[in-house]
Amino acid sequence: MKKTNLDEINRNIYDIKNKDEYDFKIKKGLTPEIIEEISKQKNDPEWMKEFRLKALDVYNKLELPTWGPDISELNMDEIATYVRPKTGLSNSWEDVPEDIKNTFDKLGIPEAEKTSLAGVGAQYDSEVVYHSMKEDLIKQGVIYTDMETAVREYPELVKEHFMKCVPVHDHKFVALHGAVWSGGSFVYVPKGIKVDIPLQSYFRLNSPESGQFEHTLIIVDEGASLHFIEGCSAPKYNKVNLHAGCVELYVKDNAYLRYSTIENWSKNMLNLNTKKAIVGKNAKMDWVSGSFGSKISMLYPMSILNGEGAKTEYTGISFAGGGQNLDNGFKVVHNAKNTSSVVNAKSISKNGGKCTYRSLVRINENAKNSKSSVSCESLMLDDISISDTIPTNDIRTDEVEFSHEAKIGKISDKTIFYLMSRGLSEEDAKAMIVRGFANPIAKELPVEYAVEMNNLINLELEGAIG
Amino acid sequence: MSNNLLEIKNLHVNAEEKEILKGINLNINNGEIHVIMGPNGSGKTTTANAILNNPAYTKTNGNIIFNGEDISNLKTDEIARKGVFMSFQLPEEIPGVSVTNFLKYAKNKITGEPVKIFQFKDELKKYMEELNMNPKNMERSLNVGFSGGEKKKNEILQMLVLNPKLAILDETDSGLDVDAIKIVSKGIEMFKNENNAVLIITHNTKILHSLKVDYVHVLVNGKIVKTGTQELAKEIEENGYAQYK
Ligand SMILES: Nc1ncnc2c1ncn2[C@@H]1O[C@H](COP(=O)(O)OP(=O)(O)O)[C@@H](O)[C@H]1O
Ligand SMILES: [Mg+2]
C-alpha cells in the first residue's frame, strides 16, 4: 500500500470508477447453462466443469442462513457472476492496460511491490491481470500464481486440496462460490522454506451489478512459513455487488502462516466470504483482519486445530458507519491435545452502523489440556449505533482453560472535554480515541496497512461530527 | 495594555438546571499565583470547567475575559489554544495513545507548529527528571493504569510541555503524599514566570507549605466569600470553613 499522509487521504482513491469495459461479461443469473458457459470461457478441465455443476445443485438445495443480517435484497438474477477484463494475465505492469494499471497504482500496489513485498497478484473483476514473484523464491520452489494457472499446471496439488478444507456443503454461498469461482491466488511453500517477506494479492471489483468469487488456496508445507496479505476494494455503485470468495489454508506440521486482510469494499457490497484454515501439529495460524467496507458483511474466519500443539490467534477490527451491518467474528475448533487459541476482536460503530461479533469456540473431548482466551471490545461513537456480541462456546472437556471477556463502551463526553482542553478539536479528539482503541490491532498489521487503517479511520470519521 | 490576564465578572453557572456558581468575580494578573479554596461541593471544579467552557455546564450570566478577549462562548479547544490549561482532578484514560504521542500531538495543536522531535524529546526528558517520573511511563497509554500520583504528575508534565499563559490546577495536590506535593510545587515553580499565571484549586492547604502564593480566595456555596493573602490559608488551616457557612 502507498504510504499516505494522514491529511491527504481521500475516498477518491477507492472510488475511481473505470469504464465498465470487458472482454466478456456473462449474462446475469444462475442456471446450468450459465455455469457451463463460464466453464467454457475459462477453459476448465472437465473435472472442474463437473465440480461447478454439482456445486450449483448444492446451491439450489441449500437455504439462506436463518440468522444474521437480512440479505434478502440479494437477487442472483441481477448479478453477473463472471466478468473477464479486457486483458490477459501478465507479469509486467507495462503490459497491463493503462486504466487498470492506474487503478492499482493509486492503490499503491506496484510501489509496495518494489519496497516491501516478495510477490504480488492483482485481480480485476473476475480474472487475475498481474502476477509476479521474486526470482529467489521461484528458485526455492515456492509457487505463487493465479488459481487458473494452478488448476492447469499443478492439477494433483489442486485436486487434493481444492474445496476440501471448505466443502461446498458448508453453506449456500460456499456452494455458489464452487459453481462460479474465478481468479484468486495459489501458494505453495515447500517444506522448511521460510518466506520472510510477505506476498500480497489485491482484489479489485470494477464492474457494476456483478460479483467477485476469487479462490485463494495456500499450502504451507511442514516447517515452512509465510505471511500472506490480502487487500480488496471496489468503487461504489447504486446496485448491489456481491463478493463470495473462498480462502482455504493448509498449515502443515510445524509450519507458520500469517494471513492479513484489509477489506475496504464499497458500501453497496454484500461480502459473504468464507475463510478456513486447517492447522497441523505444532503449527501456528495467525489471522489479522481489518474490515471497513461493505454494506453487509458475514465473515467468520475459522481455524481447525487438528494437530497436537496447534495454535491460532485472531486479531480483528470492524468499523461500521451508517447503513453498514458488519457481522464478523472468528471460529475455532480445538481438535487435538495441547492446542491454543487467542482472540482479540474489536469493533467500532458510528452513525447508526451495526457491528456484531459472532463467534464459535469448540473444544472437543480429545482436546485435553487446551487453552482458549477470547476478548472482544466494542466502541460506539453515538447513541444510534449498535454493537452486539453473540458468542457460542461449546466446551466438551473439563481439562481446558477457557476465558471470554466482552466489553461494550461509548466515547464519553468527559474524555472529549479532556482532550479538547489540550487543544484538540472535537473531531481530532474522537479520532484520537478511535485510533487508540484500534491501535493494538494496527500494530499487528504490516506497517503500510497500519497507516492505511488509520487513514480509513480518519476517512470514516470525517463529517461524522454533527 | 494592562497586566490583566483573566477577569471573571459576575459568573453564574448551572449544572443540570441547578445553579452552582452564584456570581463569581475574580481578577488574575500576569505573574501571580492565586488559590481558590473551599469545602467539597462549593463549586471549585465547576469554576475551572466554566473557564474552559465544558458543555456540561451552562453560563446563565456574566463573562470571562482572557487577555482582553471575551472567551465565554468559545469552544474548549479554542480556549486551550489561547493559552488556558487545566490540570484535571480526575484525568481521563486514553487506551492505545502513548504519553509521548499524545503530548506531541497536543503541542502541535496548541502551537500550530510542527513539533521539533529532538528538541521535544530533550525537553520531555528534562521535565521528567525534575518531576521524578519513570521514563518507561512515556510509552504507556495515557493515564491507563497510572497511580493517582502518576496521573497528577503527568498533568504537571503536560502543563510544562504545553506552556500555557494560565494554568488552572484542580486538586492537583490532593491525595498526594508530602514528597509528591513538593514535586508538584517544584513543577509550578519551573513553570511560573512574569508572563503567565497559576490558579490553584484545592480543598486543603498542604501545598501552600511549599509554595508562595499571592492571593487566596475562599469559595463557599458558589460564591467567593473572602479574599486574602497566604495568611488566610493559615487561618483556614486552623479554623476550617465553618465560619463562612
Ligand atoms: N456535571 C454536573 N452535573 C450536576 N451537578 C454537578 C455537576 N458538576 C458539579 N455538580 C454539582 O455542583 C456542586 C459543585 O461541584 P464541584 O464544582 O465539583 O465542587 P468542588 O470542586 O468544589 O468540590 C456539587 O453539588 C456537585 O454535585
Ligand atoms: Mg472539585
ipTM: 0.97
Closest CA to A174 of A200, A213, A205, A230: A213
* Cα–ligand 2 centroid distance for B20 (angstroms): 12
* A317 and B CB contact within 8 Å: no
User: How does pLDDT run across B204-231, given as a tens digit for each residue?
Assistant: 888 888 899 999 999 999 999 999 999 9
Residues of the domain holding A429: 412-466
* A420 and B CB contact within 8 Å: yes
Q: Where is the domain boundary, A252, A267, A299?
A: A299
User: How does pLDDT run across A363-418, given as a tens digit for each residue?
Assistant: 999 999 999 999 999 999 989 999 999 999 999 999 999 999 999 999 999 999 99
Residue A285 lies in a domain: yes
> Residue B44's pLDDT is what?
97
Q: Where is the domain boundary, A299, A326, A345?
A: A299
A92 and A216 co-located in one domain = yes
Q: Kindly determine whether residue B96 and residue A437, on different chains, have CB atoms separated by under 8 Å.
A: yes
Which atom of ligand 1 sits closest to the CA of residue B89? 21
Nearest to A415 among B92, B96, B141 (CB): B92
φ, ψ of residue A453 to 5 degrees: the values are -65, -40
Signed CA dihedral, B128, B132, B134, B140: sign only: negative
Query: Which residues of B are less than 8 Å from A437 in CB distance?
Result: 95-96
CA distances (Å), origin B142, targets B96, B123, B166: 8, 18, 23
A16 and A151 co-located in one domain = yes
Query: Which residues of A are less than 8 Å from B109 in CB distance?
Result: 422-425, 428
Binning pLDDT at 50, 70 and 90, where does residue A4 land? very low
Q: Where is the domain boundary, A299, A332, A352?
A: A299
Are A262 and A233 a contacting pair, CB within 8 Å? Answer: no
Residue A14 reports pLDDT greater than 90: no
Mean per-residue pLDDT for A3-10? 39
Q: How many domains does chain A have?
A: 2
> Residue A9's pLDDT is what?
42
* CA–CA gap between residue A389 and residue A31 (Å, rounded): 38
Q: Kindly determine whether residue B94 and residue A419, on different chains, have CB atoms separated by under 8 Å.
A: yes
* CA–CA gap between residue A387 and residue B148 (Å, rounded): 32
Domains of chain B: 4-244 (3.40.50.300)
User: How does pLDDT run across A69-102, given as a tens digit for each residue?
Assistant: 999 999 999 999 999 999 999 999 999 999 999 9
Q: Kindly determine whether residue A417 and residue B52, on different chains, have CB atoms separated by under 8 Å.
A: yes
pTM to 2 decimals? 0.87
- Residue appearing with cell numbers 485463494: A216
User: How does pLDDT run across A164-199, given as a tens digit for each residue?
Assistant: 999 999 999 999 999 999 999 999 999 999 999 999
Residue A101 lies in a domain: yes
Does the C-beta of B46 come closer than 6 Å to ligand 1? yes
* A426 and B CB contact within 8 Å: yes
Length of chain B: 245
For chain B, report the end-to-end CA distance as a whole number of angstroms. Answer: 39
* A440 and B CB contact within 8 Å: yes
Length of chain A: 466
Does the C-beta of B55 come closer than 6 Å to ligand 1? no
Query: Which residues of B are less than 8 Å from A440 in CB distance?
Result: 96
Residue B7 reports pLDDT greater than 50: yes
From the CA of B38, the nearest ligand is 1
Tell me how far the alpha carbon of residue A286 is from its chain's centroid: 13
The residue ranges of DSSP E strands in chain B, in sequence order, are 4-15, 18-29, 33-37, 57-66, 69-70, 84-87, 94-98, 141-142, 166-170, 197-202, 215-220, 223-228
> Residue A450's pLDDT is what?
80
Nearest CA to ligand 1 atom 25: B41
Are B235 and B60 a contacting pair, CB within 8 Å? Answer: no
Residue A440 lies in a domain: yes
φ, ψ of residue A60 to 5 degrees: the values are -65, -30
Query: Which residues of A are less than 8 Å from B141 in CB distance?
Result: 436
Chain A residue closest to B83 (CA)? Answer: A423
CA distance B220 to chain A (A): 25
Residue A386 lies in a domain: no
Tell me how far the alpha carbon of residue A293 is from its chain's centroid: 11
Q: Kindly determine whether residue A423 and residue B110, on different chains, have CB atoms separated by under 8 Å.
A: yes
Residues 6+ apart with CB under 8 A from A291: A261, A263, A297, A299, A316, A317, A318, A319, A326, A328
Q: Kindly determine whether residue B105 and residue A438, on different chains, have CB atoms separated by under 8 Å.
A: no
Chain B residue closest to A424 (CA)? Answer: B77
Residue A8 reports pLDDT greater than 50: no
> Residue A454's pLDDT is what?
79
* B101 and A CB contact within 8 Å: no
- Residue appearing with cell numbers 529532538: B118
Closest CA to A358 of A409, A316, A304, A411: A316
Chain A interface disruption, residue of B78, B94, B156, B158, most A CBs within 10 A: B94
* Cα–ligand 1 centroid distance for B7 (angstroms): 22
- Residue appearing with cell numbers 447504486: A238
Binning pLDDT at 50, 70 and 90, where does residue A17 land? confident
Mean per-residue pLDDT for A417-427? 97
Tell me how far the alpha carbon of residue B202 is from its chain's centroid: 10
Residue A120 lies in a domain: yes
Does the C-beta of B45 come closer than 6 Å to ligand 1? yes
Binning pLDDT at 50, 70 and 90, where does residue A462 land? low
